[in-house]
Amino acid sequence: MFSRLIFVVFLLLIQFAIYLFISLKLQRYEVYFLGTSVVVSIVFLLYLVNTPGKNEFKLAWILPVLVVPIAAIIFYFMYKYNQGGIWLKRKLKKLREDVKDYLPLESDEIKIAETCPEVKDLAYYLYKYGSSPCYKDNETKYFSCGEDFFEDLIDELSKAKRFIFFEFFIVEPCQIMDRLLEILSQKVKEGVEVRLLFDSIGSISFSSNLLRYYFTSYGISSKVWLKFIPVFNTGLNNRDHRKIISIDNKVAFTGGINITDEYANIVQKRFNYWKDAGLKIKGPAVRSFTLMFLEQWNVQNRKKMPCENFERFVDKKAVLENSTKAKNKKSVSKNELVIPYGDDAYNGEEIAENVYKYILNKAQKKVRIMTPYVIIDNSLFDDIVFTVSRGVEVEIIVPAFYDHFISFCVGRTYIKNLIEKGVKVFAYEKGFVHSKVMTADEKFGTVGSVNLDYRSFFHHFECGAFLYNTDSIKAAEKDFDETKNYCTEITIENYKNIKWYIRAVGWLFRIVGPLL
C-alpha cells in the first residue's frame, strides 16, 4: 500500500540531492553570488510588493528569498508561471466558453434571483463571475454522517437510467466501494454510462493505472486528475478536491465525503468516528453539477481530442424552456434558492471564500461553522471578527485531534486569535470532524468540499451549494447543535494547556500558512 508513496518520496529526495550538490559546487563563486543576490533580491522584493495579490502569499515568499535568494526567486517564477498551469488555464477557458451555451440568459437569471431579493446580489455575482446560475423548485436533503449518505446514494444509483458521474478526491478499493461497484456493474449491463474521475494525489496510496484497470474491469470509464509525476512541478499543486455525483442530470450529491471505509464508518484507521456532512439535490440545480463534472472530465482529454458534445447529457432546450417559465412565472410557491458553484486557482476570483464572507456579512443572529482546518487569510479573519463585533454569535466546531500535524498546529494559532475576539470554538472529541458547513440564521448556508484554509480557497478545485430558505439549512443547524454535545469549548485558559511543542510548531509554520 505504501510502496508508491515511498518510491515518490525517494525520487524527490534524489532530485533535491542533485540540486544541493550543484549548489555546493558553486560555492567557490560565493563572493560574486553574494553581491548579485543582494541586487536581485531588492529588485524582486520591489516587484513582489507591487504585484496584485494577497499579502499573506507575499510574506510567505519573503522569508525564503532572504535565506536563499536566487533559488527562492527561481522557485517563485516556476510557481507562478508553471507550464502545467498555463496549459490547464487555456483548456479551462475554452471549456468554459462551451459551458456558457448551457446557461440561462443573464436577464432570465436576474428574473429568478429577484424572487428572492434578500440574496439576489450573491446570485448575480455567482452567475457573472462563476457561471453558476440560481435555481428554484429543488428538493434538498442534508446528511450528518457518511453512513446515511452512502445508504441514500445506493438507493438513488439503483434508479439510474442514462448516466452516473463520480468526481472524488479520494477513492480506494474497500468495502463501501465493493457495495457501489456491485450496483454500478449491474447498471453498466443495463446500458447506463458510468464515469469516475479521481485525483492522483488524493488516491496516492494506490497506483493510478491499477485503479483505472480495476474500474475498467467493472465496465466503468475512469480518468485521473493531473496524474502525479514525481518531479518538482508546481502545476501539480492544483488538486481536484471536489466531491460530485450526478445521476441522469436529476439527482446530485456533494459534501466532504470521499469513497473510503473511513468516511462510511465501516473501518476506522485513526479515529473512533469520522464525522462528515453531505447534501443531496433533486431538481434543475443538478444541471450545474453535471456541467462541472463534464468540464473537469474533458480537461483531461489529450491535446488533439476535441471536447465532447455536452448535449448528450444536458439539453440546451431545457435552458430555454426554464427561461421562458422564469419570464412567465408571476408568483412562487416557496421562497428558496439553490446555487451550485465551483472554484479553482484559474478563474481569477475567490468564489468559495466570497460565499463564506457573504454568509457572515448577511448574518443577524448566529453563524455556525464546521470545518476540519482553520488557516485563513486576514480578510476572512477580519470578516469573522466584524460579524462578532456586530453582536452576531459565531460558533465553530473543529477537530480535537489532528490528521495533518502541521496544519493542526498552525490552525490552533488562528483559533487562539479568534477566541480572543469573541468567537466560540468547540473541539470535537468523539472522533474527527471533516464537515465543511456554514449556516446563518436558519436562512443562509453552504455545504460542499471547501475547507477554511488556503488550499481550498486558492489552490484546489472545489465545489459547494449555496442554500437559501431550504429545509436542509435547518437540518444542518440541528446537526451542529447535536454535534456540540460531543465537544469541549476551547477557551484561552485551556488553550494554555495545549502542549508547548504544538504551539511552537504552529507559531513557526504560520508564516508559510498559504502554502499548507
pLDDT mean across residues, the chain = 87
Q: What is the pLDDT of residue 323?
A: 53
The one-letter amino acid code at 149 reads: F
What is the number of helices (H) and of strands (E) in the chain? 20, 19
pLDDT tens-digit readout, 87-144: 788 888 888 888 888 888 777 787 888 889 999 999 999 999 999 999 999 999 999 9
User: How far apart, in whole angstroms, are the C-alpha atoms of residue 211 and residue 75?
Assistant: 33
| Residue 167: all three cell numbers together | 468526481
pLDDT tens digits for range 17-71? 765 666 556 556 656 666 777 777 788 888 887 887 777 888 777 777 777 777 7
The string of pLDDT tens digits covering residues 192-228 is 999 999 998 898 878 788 899 999 999 999 999 988 7
Q: How far apart are CA 8 and CA 430, in angstroms?
A: 34
What is the C-alpha separation between 169 and 462, in angstroms, rounded?
10
Strand pairing of 437-440 and 444-448? antiparallel
The pLDDT value recorded for residue 290 is: 97
pLDDT in tens, 101-110: 888 877 778 7
What's the predicted TM-score (pTM) here?
0.89
Which single residue is written with the C-alpha cell 468516511?
A: 263
SS (H, E, C) 478-514: HHHHHHHHHEEEECHHHHCCCCHHHHHHHHHHHHHHH
Per-residue pLDDT reduced to its tens digit, 302-346: 666 667 889 889 987 666 555 555 555 544 446 899 999 999 988
- Residue-level pLDDT at 324: 52
**CA 423, CA 490: separation in Å to the nearest integer?**
10
Query: For residues 236 and 226, what is the distance between their CA atoms, to the nearest angstrom?
Result: 7
Write down the domain spans for the chain: 3-81, 341-515
Pick the CATH number of 341-515 from 3.40.50.150, 3.40.190.10, 3.30.870.10, 3.40.30.10: 3.30.870.10
What is the tens place of the pLDDT at every residue in 454-507? 999 998 999 999 999 999 999 999 999 999 999 999 999 988 888 889 999 998
Rg (CA), the chain: 24
At residue 512, what are phi and psi to the nearest 5 degrees? -105, 20
Contact (Cβ atoms closer than 8 angstroms) between residue 436 and residue 449 = yes
Residue 132, phi then psi, degrees to nearest 5: -120, 95
With left for phi above 0 and alpha for psi between -120 and 50, is residue 335 left, alpha or beta? beta
DSSP state of 457: I
3-state secondary structure 368-410: EEECCCEECCHHHHHHHHHHHHCCCEEEEEEECCCCCHHHHHH
